């Protein structure tokens, strides 16, 4: 017996799937509980048509959101805020603040699409993900600096590069110009 599932059923399929089940299981369990409907030729064609319409709409949405994502990728937003000791903010920068700046720049998106996690409460630079669609997202840069000060300059990279032979190829020099602890260090 062929049925069209009307809801997700574990180990059987997802809503909208046409599945073959034993007649007793379909007739005595799935159909009376509204978990499935009999798969007639008309219903299967209607289901296929609805799927095509949904797929076309999703494809168009993904294309539109991809264009917006290209514009958003690499965008930098700067926030000048009041800062206390040790770079802690009075208040915080939230996704509402980020949304406000994005709308001022002409981007039309919902505030809940900005995936900030926790509000920003510290001076610095942050990468924020904007989820435009379940298949499309963009990354924007948020710089937070204290009022009256300039935006922070990018800090030098303090990593040590190890070359293929296990040696230190381009070791980062310390403040005294020395590459690190060695036999000549005192």
> So what's the pLDDT on residue 162?
43
Pick from 1, 72, 76, 77: nearest CA to 36: 1
Same domain, yes or no: 54 and 35: yes
pLDDT in tens, 47-63: 899 889 989 998 999 99
CATH code of residue 57: 3.40.5.10
Could you tell me if residue 105 is inside a domain? yes
Tokens of residue 69, six digits: 């994502």
- For residue 171, being part of any structural domain is answered with no
Residues 81 and 126 placed together within one structural domain of the fold:
yes
| 91 and 34 inside one domain | no
Q: Same structural domain for residues 103 and 39?
A: no
| Section 77-99 average pLDDT | 87
| Residue-level pLDDT at 153 | 53
Question: Which residues constitute the domain of residue 140?
Answer: 69-146
* Predicted confidence (pLDDT) at residue 165 exceeds the cutoff of 50: no
Judge whether 35 and 14 are in contact, CB under 8 Å: no
- Domains identified in the chain, total number: 2
Phi/psi of residue 177, nearest 5 degrees: 85, 0
């Amino acid at each position: 017996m062929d049925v069209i599932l009307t809801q997700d059923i574990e180990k059987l399929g997802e809503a909208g799937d046409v599945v073959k089940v034993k007649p007793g299981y379909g007739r005595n369990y799935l159909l009376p509980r509204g978990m499935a409907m009999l798969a007639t030729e008309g219903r299967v064609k209607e289901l296929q048509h609805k799927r095509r319409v949904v797929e076309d709409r999703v494809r168009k949405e993904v294309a539109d959101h991809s264009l917006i994502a290209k514009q958003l990728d690499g965008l930098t937003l700067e926030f000048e805020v009041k800062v206390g000791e040790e770079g802690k903010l009075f208040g915080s920068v939230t996704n509402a603040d980020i949304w406000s700046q994005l709308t001022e720049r002409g981007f039309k998106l919902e505030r809940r699409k900005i995936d900030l996690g926790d509000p920003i409460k510290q001076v610095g630079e942050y990468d924020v993900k904007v989820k435009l669609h379940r298949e499309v997202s963009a990354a924007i840069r948020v710089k937070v600096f204290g009022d009256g000060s300039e935006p922070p300059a990018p800090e030098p990279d303090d990593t040590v590069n190890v070359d293929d032979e296990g040696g230190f190829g381009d070791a980062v020099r310390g403040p005294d110009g020395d590459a690190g602890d060695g036999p000549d260090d005192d």
